[in-house]
Structure 1
Amino acid sequence: MEQPTQPGLRDRLEATFWERHANPWSAGTRILVYPVLMYAIFTRNRRLFAATLAFIAVNPVLFPRPKRTDNYLSRIVLAEREWLDEGKNTMGLDYPNVLNVLNIPVTFYAFASAIRRNPVGTVLGTLGVMVLKLWWTDAIVKKTGVTGSGPGDESSDDSVGE
């Protein structure tokens, strides 16, 4: 008789990453950190720039696993996980991945504007990056049908919804 295999260290770390990143505080602050990064570049504030990069690095595991994931911010993280687990790419000419492709020049524009200290270009570029990213995440939430889970939800995924 075949014994059930225990998940390896990498699988456990990856599960922990996604479970904690599904915390709405993680997803929400991750969205809001981009304008802070652009502001740090625009103002040449090295400390803020370094702190922002450090926050981006630790953000996905900074917050605890959420008790419920039936909110929009958790659902976008769960949808991204499901999208990637299904072997789907994040870049391409198909919808919604084309939104990420379009985001490349917009990101370059935002960074160039911040470096040149062009306030209008920095704001417009930053907004463009955020709109395209949120459009992509919203599209994959709809395509995957992820709903999240709440307390007492019988279809809840115990690995995330606790």
Structure 2
Amino acid sequence: MTRTAEGDLRDCLEDAFWSRHSNPKSGWSRTLTGPLLLLALYRRSWRLFVFAVAFTALNPVLFGRPDPEAESWMKRAVEAERWWLAEGNATMNLGWPNVLNVANVPTFCYALLAAYRRQPVRATVALAASMGLKFGWIELIARQYDESQA
């Protein structure tokens, strides 16, 4: 396979991934994986944990391409994330709004730890904070994406 063919294949696969992931069903169902992971750790259910991890990995390709004419916040969010990454903004640049996405990591890790330690209030509060940070980051990059398209 030539280098060009490999690049074409990679571009094709990447486009298929992002276009399917932009289906709002993909994005919204993916928000359930955090609570599922916490529940699995809290209950020590390794089957549920494996299911949640597998679902997280497979989720972006489980759903078909969305209607190109349909608009939704989640579709716009995924398109913005793709644009954000393509623009090179995913580096460890701690500028705004990346600070929200970076802060999300230890917050979610703490939620996992609290669930494992069977501290449901702490796990729930940390999960809510983590989701708030993620949704805040998504909304901010979606606004920047909209400005770039205007």
TM over 0.5: yes
C-alpha RMSD over aligned residues: 2.0
Indicate conservation of the 8 Å contact 2:37/2:112, yes or no.
no
CA separation of 1:109 and 1:91: change in aligned 2, threshold 3 A? same
Alpha-carbon distance in 1 for matches of 2:105, 2:62: 27
TM (normalized to structure 2)? Answer: 0.89
Q: Which has the higher helix share?
A: 2
Identity between Structure 1 and Structure 2 (%)? 45
In the comparison of the two structures, how many residue pairs are matched?
A: 144
Indicate conservation of the 8 Å contact 1:91/1:98, yes or no.
no
**1:1-162 pair list within 5 angstroms:** 8-68=8-68, 69-89=70-90, 91-145=92-146
* Residue type of the alignment partner of 2:62: L
Alpha-carbon distance in 2 for matches of 1:103, 1:29: 19
Quote the offset at 1:91 in angstroms: 4.1
* Residue type of the alignment partner of 1:124: V
> Unpaired segments of 5 or more residues in structure 1?
149-162
Quote the offset at 1:137 in angstroms: 0.5
> Unpaired segments of 5 or more residues in structure 2?
none
Alpha-carbon distance in 1 for matches of 2:133, 2:146: 20
Tell me whether 19-28 or 62-71 shows the greater mean CA deviation. 62-71
State the 4+ residue runs in structure 1 displaced beyond 3 angstroms: none
Q: Which has the larger radius of gyration?
A: 1
Quote the offset at 1:130 in angstroms: 0.6
* Residue type of the alignment partner of 2:17: F
User: Equivalent residue of 1:145, what SS?
Assistant: helix
The C-alpha deviation readout for 1:13-51, integer Å capped at 9, x for no partner, is 000000000000001011122111111111111111111
